[in-house]
């Protein structure tokens, strides 16, 4: 068990290492990323085994969601880092004549803290670490105590690959997390719930430490299916997404709003898709993931019991294995409690709306806290693009689900109660660096425009020239 004194000693060692200057070298950073990639490849089987023990993941889902995505992130970063890190050159403007060149350097923060969750224990730790390394920082990864086996593998991977004075893994419960937060870092990256996000910000504020937050969204993520949508395609994709990691995904669909005109047909297709993809008895299908803990299972079961009279599919589980079947609850009003908070479980409430009144639905969603994602299914792509450019949310898809997360070169992040900051690829590099503007002065040909005196016959020209130059 880590103590506060041990954490402080670790951070002090990392700060000393950072000040030594080695991490400023771009070539050195790339070498560390290659070492990390090699270590992941060598530990692929034990990572898959840990994900199965922690979350009941199949090998395919383990690779797709956690392992392969990290490797892709590292590859993108290695390929683009030299370009991203190159100082920008800007024209200083006539007002600064004769000093005409200004540089913007992308500098590392220093010693960083990464607090990762249980649901994607490798992607949301090593993926963030990739950005931290790319930015030239040292890092302490505080892992979730819930994903025990994955944490053990992370400790092994990092311990065998990097010295603790550069990268280290800290395990333990909430008390250890608080000890980390009470230790001064130069940047904190937290992934988890809005409630804990508030606590992270409060602790970071004591040292004015900049924070990036990736949160699930207080009111959950909406999916809207209009009457003109390809219902079978929508049902297929929504079913896949709700089965993924047993619903324990921060960008997962929390509730789906379906046009009344097609609601019955959509629900029938959704049932068929759940059966086609996971079988009639999902709970005993070895490919179906489990909930992370008995507590998570009980919370899921308790939520379903509140709406037992409206369960139209699923509604049963196995407490011993912590598996709960994908469950459809229908109909649900948009003001009911189940759609007012993040579920983080394989439960899917179905809200209906009149297609002609979709604006009212969007207005209701817009009045609530911003979700981390938004999904629209419709053949009217023009309408969908308009909505996506007006609503407040982290990211999303039109006629698709979740895969916006996999696109290279684009940011991933939330806003408000779904987070702040963004990462992945170059955006991750930006999140873990701060831009420093430096004007390069010239000592030849200086004009006394900014100097006293400002009055007198020969000085009236100064203000006139400044007005011209600052246009």
CB 238 within 8 A of CB 270: yes
- What pLDDT does residue 15 have? 98
CATH topology of domain 4-216+421-434: Aldehyde Dehydrogenase; Chain A, domain 1 (3.40.605)
Q: What pLDDT was estimated at residue 117? A: 97
The predicted structure's pLDDT at residue 446 = 84
Q: What's the full length of the chain, in residues?
A: 471
pLDDT tens per residue across span 289-299: 999 999 999 99
Tell me the two tokens of residue 288. Answer: 């179906």
Portion of the chain with pLDDT greater than 90, in percent: 91
Q: What is the pLDDT of residue 459?
A: 77
The pLDDT score that the predictor gives to residue 463 is 81
Q: Answer yes or no: are the C-beta atoms of 337 and 320 closer than 8 Å.
A: no
With 0-12 / 13-18 / 19 or more C-beta atoms within 10 angstroms meaning exposed / middle / buried, residue 445 is exposed
pLDDT tens for 36-70 read: 999 999 999 999 999 999 999 999 999 999 999 99
As a whole number of angstroms, the distance between CA 156 and CA 45 comes to 13
The boundaries of every CATH 3.40.605.10 domain in the chain are 4-216+421-434
pLDDT band at 460 (very low <50, low <70, confident <90, very high): confident
Whether 8 is catalytic: no
Spell out the long-range contacts of 46-49 with Cβ–Cβ below 8 A and sequence spacing 24 or more. Answer: 46/153, 46/156, 47/122, 47/150, 47/153, 49/149
What are the CA-CA distances from residue 123 to residues 93, 148, 329, 384 (Å)?
Answer: 44, 15, 31, 30
CA-to-CA distance for 145 and 207, rounded, in angstroms? 26
pLDDT over 80 at 217, yes or no: no
Query: Which pLDDT does position 457 carry in this prediction?
Result: 75
Tell me the pLDDT tens digit for each residue of 127-184: 999 999 999 999 999 999 999 999 999 999 999 999 999 999 999 999 999 999 999 9
Active-site annotation holder among 250, 322, 397, 402: 250
pLDDT band, very low/low/confident/very high, at 451 (cuts 50, 70, 90): confident
Helices (H), 287-357: 294-306
Tokens representing 228? Answer: 């003109």
Whether the predicted pLDDT of 218 surpasses 90: no
Considering 48, 214, 303, 431, which one is annotated as catalytic?
214
Q: How many C-beta neighbours within 10 Å does residue 209 have? A: 19
175 vs 4: CA distance, rounded Å: 9
Catalytic residue list contains 298: no
Q: What CATH class does 222-368+371-412 carry? A: alpha beta
CATH 3.40.309.10 segments of the chain:
222-368+371-412
Q: What is the pLDDT of residues 81-131, one digit of tens each?
A: 999 999 999 999 888 889 999 999 999 999 999 999 999 999 999 999 999
Mean pLDDT over 8-32 rounds to: 98
pLDDT at 41: 97
pLDDT given at position 470: 79
Q: What percent of the chain has pLDDT over 70?
A: 100
């Amino acid at each position: 068990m880590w103590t506060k004194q041990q954490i402080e000693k670790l951070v002090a060692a990392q700060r000393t290492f950072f000040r030594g200057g080695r991490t400023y070298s771009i070539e050195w950073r790339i070498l560390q990323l290659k070492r990390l990639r090699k270590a992941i490849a060598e530990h692929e089987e034990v990572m898959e085994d840990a994900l199965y023990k922690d979350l009941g993941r199949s090998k395919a889902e383990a690779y797709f969601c956690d392992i392969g995505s990290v490797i892709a992130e590292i590859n993108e970063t290695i390929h683009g880092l030299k370009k991203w890190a190159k100082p920008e050159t800007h024209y200083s403007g006539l007002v600064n004549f004769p000093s005409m060149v200004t540089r913007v350097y992308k500098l590392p923060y220093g010693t960083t803290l990464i607090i990762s969750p249980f649901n994607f224990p490798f992607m949301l730790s090593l993926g963030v670490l990739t950005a931290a390394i790319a930015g030239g920082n040292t890092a302490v990864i505080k892992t979730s105590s819930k994903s025990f086996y994955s944490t053990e593998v992370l400790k092994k991977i990092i311990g065998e690959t990097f010295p603790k004075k550069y990268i280290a893994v800290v395990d333990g419960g909430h008390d250890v997390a608080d000890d980390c937060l009470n230790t001064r870092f130069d940047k904190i990256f937290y992934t988890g719930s809005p409630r804990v996000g508030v606590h992270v910000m409060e602790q970071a504020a004591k040292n004015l430490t900049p924070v990036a937050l990736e949160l699930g969204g207080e009111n959950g993520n909406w999916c809207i299916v209009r009457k003109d949508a390809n219902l079978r395609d929508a049902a297929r994709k929504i079913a896949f997404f709700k089965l993924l990691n047993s619903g324990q995904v921060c960008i997962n669909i929390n509730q789906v709003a379906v046009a009344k005109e097609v609601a019955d047909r959509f629900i029938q297709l959704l049932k068929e898709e759940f059966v086609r993809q996971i079988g009639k008895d999902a709970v005993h299908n070895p490919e179906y993931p489990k909930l992370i803990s008995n507590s998570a299972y009980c919370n899921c079961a308790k939520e379903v019991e509140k709406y037992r009279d409206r369960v139209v599919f699923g509604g049963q589980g196995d407490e011993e294995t912590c598996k709960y079947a994908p469950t459809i609850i229908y109909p649900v009003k948009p003001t009911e409690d189940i759609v007012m908070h993040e579920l983080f479980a394989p439960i899917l409430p179905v809200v209906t709306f009149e297609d002609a009144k979709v604006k009212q639905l969007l207005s209701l969603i817009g009045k609530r806290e911003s979700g981390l994602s938004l999904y629209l299914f419709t053949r009217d792509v023009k309408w969908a693009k308009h909505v996506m450019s007006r609503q407040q949310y982290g990211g999303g898809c039109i006629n698709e689900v979740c895969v916006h997360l996999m696109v290279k070169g684009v940011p991933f992040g939330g806003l408000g109660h779904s987070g702040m900051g963004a990462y992945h690829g170059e955006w991750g590099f930006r999140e873990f660096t701060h831009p420093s503007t430096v004007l390069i002065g010239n000592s030849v040909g200086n004009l006394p425009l900014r100097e006293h005196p400002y009055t007198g016959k020969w000085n009236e020209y100064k203000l006139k020239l400044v007005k011209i130059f600052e246009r």
